[in-house]
Amino acid sequence: MTTTTNAVLVPLLPFLGAVAGLLLGRTAPGFVRPLAVLPTLASLVLAVLVAAGQGGGPALDAATQLTPTGSVPVDLALHIDGTAALVAVLVGVVATCVQIYSTGYLRDDPRYPSYAALVSLFTSAMLLVVYTGDLIVLLVGWEVMGICSYFLVGHYWETPQARAASLKAFLVTKLGDVPFLIGLFVLAGDAGSFRITTVLGTVAGGGLHHPTLAALLLLAGVAGKSAQFPLHSWLPDAMAGPTPVSALIHAATMVAAGVYVVARLLPVYQASAAAMTVLAVMAAVTMASAALAALAQDDIKRVLAYSTISQLGYMTGALAAGDRGAAVFHLLSHGAFKALLFLAAGVVIHAAGTNSLAAMSRTGNLRDRVPDAYWTMTVALLALAAIPPFSGFFSKETVLAAAEHAAMGHTVHVPAAAGWTVLVAGLVTALLTGAYALRLWLLAFHGRGADAPGHGRQPVAMNAVLWVLAVPSLAFGGLTYRLLPDWLGGDSLAPALTTSVLGTGLALAGGVLTYGAWRHTTARAARTPLGAVAAHPQADAGLVEAEAVAGHEPAYGDIASAPDPADPGRLLLGPLHRHAAAGFHLDALYRAAFVRPVTAGASLVRFLDREVVETYVRGAGALPRLLGAAVRRAQTGNVQTYVSALLAGTVVLAVAAVLVATGA
């Protein structure tokens, strides 16, 4: 089979798996698990084959046109360069791991067939986005991912949090998608084609008339999808979905799709200094604020969600610094270790029966209950904090190095201010990342108190996957930073000394600060008993998590934070803690700025409809009724009245006839 055939099969197989899973889900439950895992696994193998066939060489292009679509043709096009091949491999790996993990995680879930089918469909859509060479086909995959995300976030739709979160995720991402679509049209209008190669050729030839407009419109969609400021507020709430979904969609792949699209269309951004500056500011605000918020969250998954937002900020920062190699490098390594973090967190939540770090910090012995999760999570947190020699160190270093390069003015198309913005924010975020990573680790695994309730080992499917993902988290960066520049078509990805020392030092400093704070506060933990566990700790992991998510708000008063004086984050952030826990009140701002006016407008429309429009409608009925009542009164049944009226009319007619006849 040629590489092109393989590449076509890569998105197709999960799609067929999803269709088959949906069709057979009820009638043949025995086939559901193989239908979920095997197509994804096969597609991973094919993605690896495609990557091997592409081999980091020149981009592979293939296109076919199904039907003429008017002046701007829409092609079913493939465009596979090294970036696409590698990202596809990452998607395949994470999707396969998540599918295997889900067989254990949602073991007893009655809605597992539709869940698995939606994950497969999502995988297919993501692979389509990665491989496609046409912007409209990309948009199709983009929107399919959005709808899958909506369904999967709302998997536990019995809980109000999940319902609200799925709606919010859908609406906020759609808010970005509308400008994204218009941006695509602007691009295609200038380039005369939706093909990415043609668009980039037009950009290179200077034929793009509205680069700033197109770039900023596209950026709105990217911000919505990749959870960048100010459209990031949906991602922490999306943690109400099952953990494997968070790992796949809201950490490793879909949220990376925005970064991937910007990386693909980076020349469009580079054509506009304004767009690059906006991108840099957006990245800086996102990474720093999200890292601060991560430090204040109590829900372990919300910590990871804000961490994801922050790391995505790094990627957009790298793009703002003009280095798409660094961005994709960080995307790849982050996809591996963040997926691992989420999956391990799922195991921890299951074992602890709660998603609250405050409750975990009062639970002793948790690391002995879940040793696999403990060790793999340690590896992944080290990678997150960018401690050498874990993979996160290398990828984050390249980002910082690219920012430094741009700040020094060595990068064409990139304003130095953008470079400085990204660099400073990146270094601050490195400090915060070290802090919140260590806080998470300490609170989750080094609690003191009653032992965690033991209910046997976690399923093998879940633990094995953790170790599979631990390998790239540990070694991906170190092993590949020499090879990847060929694939990603960029500059060297080797760590530079200045930024390495600065970044690692800041991360360590953050760790030390957190450790000190923790030593200081942990004594208080015993004095304030706190915590609630799920109602059914023996049930499968999915149910435990759903109950934990639903129980967090009633137990601790807030979905994001807990009133825990033993939290080192509270000590570190001081008065900032309250605002950071609430995501800097962005949701409240949106509520005041958009939700309230819309609700008020809706009630106004409702009032107008009920009271004004309906009055006319009712009047249209009441007037004939009144007339009917009036006329009915004339129907007395008295013949004399009728004859009187008849004769009166006759007289009037006769007089009129006479008057007319005499011409009077």
Partner 1 sequence: MHLAYPAVLSALLFCTGLYGVLARRNAILVLMSVELMLNAVNLNLVAFDVYLSKAARDTLHSGQALTLFTIAIAAAEIGIGLAIVLAVYRNRGTSAIDRLRDAAEGHGDDSDDSAGSDSTVPGAEKAEATA
Partner 2 sequence: MTPSHAAVSAAAAAEHGFLSPTGVEITFLLIGLVTFGAALVSVTTRQLVHAALWLVVALGGLAVEYLLLTAEFIAWMQVLIYVGSVVVLLLFGLMLTKAPIGRSPDADSGNRWAALLVAVAAAAALVWVVVDAFRTTWIDLDGPAAGSTRVTGAGLFQNWVLPFEALSVLLLAALVGAIVLSRRAKAADAAQQARAGGAAQQARAARDGQRPAEEGKH
Specify burial of residue 428 (Cβ count, 10 A radius: 0-12, 13-18, 19+).
Answer: middle
Q: Give the shortest CB-631-to-partner 1 separation in angstroms.
A: 9
Query: Measured between alpha carbons, how far is 11 from 44 in angstroms, rounded to an integer?
Result: 10
**64 or 640, CB closer to partner 1?**
640
Q: Give the shortest CB-629-to-partner 1 separation in angstroms.
A: 10
632 binds, among partner 1, partner 2, none (CB under 5 to 8 A by kind): partner 1
Helix (H) / strand (E) element for 358: namely helix 357-360
- Token pair, residue 393, equals 């160190």
- Which residue ranges make up the site for partner 1 (CB under 8 A)? 632, 635-640, 643-644, 647
Tell me: does residue 647 bind partner 2 (CB under 8 A).
Answer: yes
**527 or 633, CB closer to partner 1?**
633
Query: Measured between alpha carbons, how far is 463 from 547 in angstroms, rounded to an integer?
Result: 22
**620 or 651, CB closer to partner 1?**
651
Specify burial of residue 154 (Cβ count, 10 A radius: 0-12, 13-18, 19+).
Answer: buried
Q: Which of 404, 398, 122, 75 is nearest to 241 (CA)?
A: 122
Pattern 580-619, partner 2, x by CB under 8 A: ----------------------------------------
Q: What one-letter code names the amino acid at 315?
A: M
Q: Give the shortest CB-644-to-partner 2 separation in angstroms.
A: 5
Q: What one-letter code names the amino acid at 286?
A: T
Q: Give the shortest CB-638-to-partner 1 separation in angstroms.
A: 5
Q: Give the shortest CB-652-to-partner 2 separation in angstroms.
A: 8
Q: Which stretch binds partner 2 (CB under 8 A): 152-160, 444-452, 530-538, 641-649?
A: 641-649
**65 or 650, CB closer to partner 2?**
650
Q: Give the shortest CB-631-to-partner 2 separation in angstroms.
A: 18
Q: Is 241 helix (H, G, I), strand (E, B) or coil?
A: coil
**412 or 660, CB closer to partner 2?**
660
589 binds, among partner 1, partner 2, none (CB under 5 to 8 A by kind): none
Tell me: does residue 655 bind partner 2 (CB under 8 A).
Answer: yes
635 binds, among partner 1, partner 2, none (CB under 5 to 8 A by kind): partner 1
655 binds, among partner 1, partner 2, none (CB under 5 to 8 A by kind): partner 2
- Token pair, residue 114, equals 């539709």
**620 or 647, CB closer to partner 2?**
647
Q: CB of 183 within 8 A of CB of 214?
A: yes
Q: Give the shortest CB-636-to-partner 2 separation in angstroms.
A: 10
Specify burial of residue 196 (Cβ count, 10 A radius: 0-12, 13-18, 19+).
Answer: buried
User: What is the DSSP track for 608-637?
Assistant: IIIIIIHHHHHHHHHHHHHHHHHHHHH---
**593 or 646, CB closer to partner 1?**
646
Q: Which stretch binds partner 2 (CB under 8 A): 79-87, 108-116, 402-410, 643-651?
A: 643-651
**27 or 640, CB closer to partner 2?**
640
Tell me: does residue 635 bind partner 2 (CB under 8 A).
Answer: no
Tell me: does residue 627 bind partner 2 (CB under 8 A).
Answer: no
Tell me which long-range contacts 551-556 makes (C-beta under 8 A, separation of at least 24): 551/354, 552/298, 552/299, 552/355, 552/356, 553/161, 555/356, 555/531, 556/298, 556/356, 556/358, 556/530, 556/532
Tell me: does residue 640 bind partner 2 (CB under 8 A).
Answer: yes
657 binds, among partner 1, partner 2, none (CB under 5 to 8 A by kind): none
Specify burial of residue 147 (Cβ count, 10 A radius: 0-12, 13-18, 19+).
Answer: middle
Q: CB of 141 within 8 A of CB of 132?
A: yes
Query: Measured between alpha carbons, how far is 102 from 524 in angstroms, rounded to an integer?
Result: 38
604 binds, among partner 1, partner 2, none (CB under 5 to 8 A by kind): none
Q: What one-letter code names the amino acid at 323?
A: D
Q: Any bridge partners for residue 363, and if so which?
A: 450
Q: Give the shortest CB-641-to-partner 2 separation in angstroms.
A: 6
Is the bond into 389 cis (omega within 30 degrees of 0)? yes
Q: Give the shortest CB-635-to-partner 2 separation in angstroms.
A: 15
**630 or 664, CB closer to partner 2?**
664
Cα angle 316, 319, 325; round to 5? 115
**607 or 642, CB closer to partner 1?**
642
**412 or 630, CB closer to partner 2?**
630
658 binds, among partner 1, partner 2, none (CB under 5 to 8 A by kind): partner 2
**71 or 638, CB closer to partner 1?**
638
Q: Give the shortest CB-608-to-partner 1 separation in angstroms.
A: 38
Query: Measured between alpha carbons, how far is 581 from 520 in angstroms, rounded to an integer?
Result: 21
Query: Measured between alpha carbons, how far is 67 from 296 in angstroms, rounded to an integer?
Result: 53
- Cα separation values, 470 from 109, 466, 476, Å: 27, 6, 10
Query: Measured between alpha carbons, how far is 107 from 103 in angstroms, rounded to an integer?
Result: 6
659 binds, among partner 2, partner 1, none (CB under 5 to 8 A by kind): none
Site size for partner 2 (CB under 8 A): 10
The residue with tokens 């609700």 is: 599
Q: What one-letter code names the amino acid at 635?
A: Q
User: What is the DSSP track for 452-497?
Assistant: PPP--PPPHHHHHHHHHHHHHHHHHHHHHTTTHHHHHTSS--PPPH
**526 or 651, CB closer to partner 2?**
651
Tell me: does residue 660 bind partner 2 (CB under 8 A).
Answer: no
Q: What is the 3-state secondary structure (H, E, C) of 391-424?
A: HHHHHHHHHHHHHHHHHCCCCCCCCHHHHHHHHH
Q: Which of residues 316-375 bind partner 2 (CB under 8 A)?
A: none
Q: Give the shortest CB-628-to-partner 2 separation in angstroms.
A: 23
Helix (H) / strand (E) element for 450: namely strand 450-451
- Token pair, residue 212, equals 């700033």
Query: Measured between alpha carbons, how far is 543 from 525 in angstroms, rounded to an integer?
Result: 28
- Token pair, residue 460, equals 């093998």
Q: Give the shortest CB-661-to-partner 2 separation in angstroms.
A: 10
What are the b/e assignments for 493-502, b being 16+ CB within 10 Å? Answer: bebbeebbeb
**64 or 640, CB closer to partner 2?**
640
654 binds, among partner 2, partner 1, none (CB under 5 to 8 A by kind): partner 2
600 binds, among partner 2, partner 1, none (CB under 5 to 8 A by kind): none
Tell me: does residue 641 bind partner 2 (CB under 8 A).
Answer: yes
Binding site for partner 2 (CB under 8 A): 638, 640-641, 644, 647-648, 651, 654-655, 658
